[in-house]
Structure 1
Amino acid sequence: MTRRVGLHTLWLLCACALLAYMAMTRGALQISSDQIWQILLGQGASNVKLIVLEWRLPRVLMALLIGAALGISGAIFQSLLRNPLGSPDILGFNTGAYSGVLVALVLFNQSVTAMLIIVGISVRALLMALNSWLIISASLESALSAGLWSAGSLNGITWAKTPPVIAVLLLALLLMALLARRMRLLEMGDDTACALGVPVERSRMWLMLIGVVLTAASTALVGPISFVALLAPQIARRLGGGVKGALPLAALCGALLLIAADFAAQHLFLPYQLPDGVITVILGGLYLIALLVREARRQ
């Protein structure tokens, strides 16, 4: 790890910790740092313990974990496809979990990386049409619940809902740590990676599977939160000075983006609370507009 990457890693960790602290203490009931400390020592009022340990803490931890998972998933796909738009939400995996990958593998076999973006966008459009039809056909109560979930929200996160998702995400992140070196070598080109002893096709398939699992598990819990997987790896690449495959930075950028979006969704529009996905879509839209403006100026 270079000094630059190490410094930015430290800053991102501090920013995540600060936002986590603010999320734990701000709200309808303001909680001081002394009360937080008492709760950590097993003391404090029961109502404050309930709010901190059962309501706010799982939300904060899952925002950090899911943000990190989406950031790494985006880094995987952008690395494999060698395309800055190759994130799981652009490909359609947020809409249909792993449907895009299955169609690409079954229909296009050896040309997965060349066709995956086009196939993903097409599958995403078809699945969005199917989703719209299902919502229209559902009862009002079911449609409202589905609509809230589809916007992407951390509302209602409790410890009872998190164990399966935490287990899947941690396992996928562990496997990703074992395959991180292979991903860096694949970025040098298939021929170079093969010459260095990397089983290219098998490694690519495992990496793609891990990326899909990270996205699918996150989406299953909080709904499709767009643009975190797109933005986090690109911010990480710029912070790392253009170094590809900076997975720790991508994870921290994803965690910071999601917990910041969640904090903004809860507190910036009071008395209303917005879904997290609305905030991330705004950020992603601004980012894409900035890219278009920059490309127009270059031309």
Structure 2
Amino acid sequence: MAERRLVPLALLLALGCAAFLLWNLHAPMGFILSLRATKLAALVVVGAASGAATVLFQTVAGNRLITPGIVGFDALFVFLQTMLVLALGSAGYATLPTLPAFLIETACLAGAGVALFGLLLRRGAGDLIRLVLSGLILGVMLRGLSGFAQRLLEPSEFAVVQQASFASFGAVDRAQLALAGPLLALALLIAWRLSSRLDLALLGRDKAITLGLDFDRLLLGVLALIAVMVAVSTALVGPVAFLGLLAAALAHALLGHPRHAALLPAAAGLGALILVAGQFLFERLLGFESTLAVIVEFLGGLVFLALVLRKAAR
């Protein structure tokens, strides 16, 4: 059975986590393990949430070429960081309490996602193309506003915005992680419990309703889960738009079937494995600090192009 392929994936992830924690460990061991464990937990929960959220989004959209990042979450995050630095200055931004700032950013991102999804639902559950197009336009608009605002910043303030605009796992706040971790784990559990309904949703709205599925209600719940997963992950470490697409594509290739009871754990595990293995490679073996997000975006972009070209060739 294809589900058996989850076992070696779980073993690889466990091995990667152990290597990340214990490789070249030296005194003071307790302090170093504490720092590594915090970073590792952030890598795992963000990777898992990104992979699962992308599978959910592709299921309700009926399209394996899209990802939640396409609806403008990353652009909104950058816009929020730019406005905060513009309003408070680099010194004021640096002194913001981390937990309230995290909660505000999460609320803004999740609220924007739910509002956009709510417009979709008022027009009917089948209007997902308009959702994607609206998200693209929103992203372009926010990037334009962010670019204009960044021209008003001092060079030192612009550097702060640039640093905050890319995903970083090196300075994850433990208080934020203590809140984000359980929330993302709960969202993943709820998504997995919906697996059988998601399998029916793949048949299309009309067929699913004929089989007794409340498609519109399921769509509302799934889109809310996606908004929460992406908002919390982005507010915790920053945007990694193509990570979920990379994990979802690898999960489909690994399993060879669309059953969500296995597909969701596979995408979550692969998302976590990509981040853990990548961070281990660049940080422990190569000594780099900020390369991982760039590499993941590059590989995810290549996967996106490959999927588009393969579909166009059919």
State the TM bucket, normalised to the shorter chain.
0.7 to 0.9
Rounded Cα–Cα distance in structure 1 between residues aligned with 2:299 and 2:178: 30
Check whether the contact 1:88–1:94 (CA below 8 A) recurs between aligned residues.
no
Among candidates 278, 292, 295, match of residue 276 of structure 1: 292
1:76 — aligned with what?
A: 56
Mapped to 2, the partners of 1:268 and 1:227 lie a distance apart of 24
Select between 241-250 and 140-149 the one with higher mean Cα deviation.
140-149
Note closer, same or farther for the CA distance 1:146–1:180 as it changes in structure 2 (3 Å cut): farther
Matched, 1:262 2:279: yes
Q: Determine which of 65, 80, 105 is the counterpart of 2:45.
A: 65
For 2:163, give the aligned amino acid.
Answer: L
Residue 5 of structure 1 aligns with an amino acid whose one-letter code is: E
Which residue does 2:223 correspond to in 1? Answer: 208
**Which residue does the alignment assign to 1:164?**
179
Report 1:112-127 matches (<5 A).
112-127=127-142
Which secondary structure does the structure 2 equivalent of 1:197 belong to?
coil
Contact 1:237/1:244 (CA < 8 Å) preserved in 2?
Answer: no
Aligned equivalents of 2:175, 2:115: Cα separation in 1:
31
Shift of 1:216: 0.4
Q: Distance in 2 between matches of 1:187 and 1:208?
A: 15
Matched position secondary structure for 2:194: helix
Over the aligned positions, Cα root-mean-square deviation in angstroms equals 2.4
Match of 1:49 among 30, 38, 41: 30
Q: CA–CA distance in 2 between the matches of 1:85 and 1:294?
A: 11
Counterpart amino acid of residue 52 in structure 1: L
Deviations 1:49-89 (A, max 9, x none): 00112x10111121011100000100001111111222111
Q: Distance in 1 between matches of 2:311 and 2:164?
A: 35
- TM-score of the two chains, using structure 1 as the length reference: 0.83
Range 109-118 or range 133-142, more displaced: 133-142
Offset of 1:213 from its aligned partner?
Answer: 0.6
Q: CA deviation at 1:295?
A: 5.6
Identity of paired residues, percent? Answer: 29
Count of matched residue pairs: 277
Q: Which residue of 1 aligns with 2:253?
A: 238
Following superposition, the deviation at residue 218 of structure 1 comes to: 0.3
- Counterpart of 2:15 in structure 1 is 18
The 3 A distance-change label for structure 1 pair 48 and 235 is same
Question: How far 1:103 moved relative to its partner?
Answer: 3.5
Deviates more, 1:117-126 or 1:171-180: 171-180
C-alpha contact 1:105 1:112 (8 A) present in aligned 2: no
Question: With structure 2 as the length reference, what TM-score do the two structures score?
Answer: 0.80
Listed one character per residue, the Cα deviations across residues 247-287 of structure 1 (whole Å, up to 9, x for unaligned) are 111111111122223223424653x4225321211211332
1:31 corresponds to? 25
SS at 2:293's partner residue? helix
Q: Which residue of 2 aligns with 1:40?
A: none
Structure 1: 5+ residue stretches without partners: 33-44
Within 5 Å, give how 1:79-118 maps onto structure 2.
Answer: 79-96=59-76, 97-98=109-110, 99=112, 102-103=115-116, 105-106=118-119, 109-110=123-124, 111-118=126-133
Partners of 2:280 and 2:150 in 1: how far apart?
A: 29
Instruction: Report the counterpart of residue 249 of structure 1 in structure 2.
Output: 266
Alignment of 1:177-188 (within 5 A): 177-188=192-203
The higher-RCO structure (CA 8 Å, 6+ apart) is 2
1:90-141 CA distances to partner (integer Å, 9 max, x unpaired)? Answer: 2322333353552354377225313122111111111222223343334544
Flag as ranges the 4+ runs of structure 1 deviating above 6 A. none
CA contact (8 A) 1:72 1:247 kept: yes
Q: 2:239 aligns with which of 224, 233, 248?
A: 224
Q: Which runs of 5+ in 2 are unaligned?
A: 77-108
